[in-house]
């Protein structure tokens, strides 16, 4: 069964450092998303990406965040200068038009 793959599974970084989270979407999917989940809380939308551009972003997705699909397969989330409050699980999700989104297993980001 096709699945969304995320790497790394766990990333520890110092405050102020840049991190890049990577996702390999399901191959024929067209819509890509990043969500985050602070421990024990709900899943929060960060950004959606379609046709090689951001289609929507939330208030959380400020100038410190960026996304790209550099090689037509991987989909990345970059946080330029991490803050303590960026510590969370980050989920990549992908979908086809008209379907639900399929989520990866997540990257646990710990900012120290």
Partner 1 sequence: QQQVKQSPQSLIVQKGGIPIINCAYENTAFDYFPWYQQFPGKGPALLIAIRPDVSEKKEGRFTISFNKSAKQFSLHIMDSQPGDSATYFCAARDRDDKIIFGKGTRLHILP
Task: Catalog residues that contact partner 1 under the rule CB under 8 A.
Answer: 4, 31, 33, 35, 41-45, 48, 50, 55-56, 91, 93, 95, 97-106
For residue 91, the minimal CB distance to partner 1 (Å) is 5
**CB burial readout 36-48, b (16+ within 10 A) else e:** beeeeeeeebbbb
Hey, what are 26's tokens? 């399901």
- CA distance to 4, 58, 66, 100, per residue, from 7 (Å): 10, 23, 17, 22
For residue 64, the minimal CB distance to partner 1 (Å) is 20
For residue 59, the minimal CB distance to partner 1 (Å) is 11
Measured from the CB atom, is 17 or 105 closer to partner 1?
105
Measured from the CB atom, is 15 or 43 closer to partner 1?
43
Strands 88-95 and 31-37: antiparallel
Measured from the CB atom, is 25 or 106 closer to partner 1?
106
């Amino acid at each position: 069964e096709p699945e969304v793959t995320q790497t790394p599974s766990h990333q520890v970084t110092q405050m102020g450092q840049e991190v890049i989270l990577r996702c390999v979407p399901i191959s024929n999917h067209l819509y890509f998303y990043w969500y985050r989940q602070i421990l024990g809380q709900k899943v929060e939308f960060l950004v959606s990406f379609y046709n090689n551009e951001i289609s929507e972003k939330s208030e959380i997705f400020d100038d410190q965040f960026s996304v790209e699909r550099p090689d037509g397969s991987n989909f990345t989330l970059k946080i330029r200068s991490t803050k303590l409050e960026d510590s969370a699980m980050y989920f990549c999700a992908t979908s086809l038009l008209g379907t639900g989104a399929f989520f990866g297993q997540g990257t646990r980001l710990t900012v120290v």
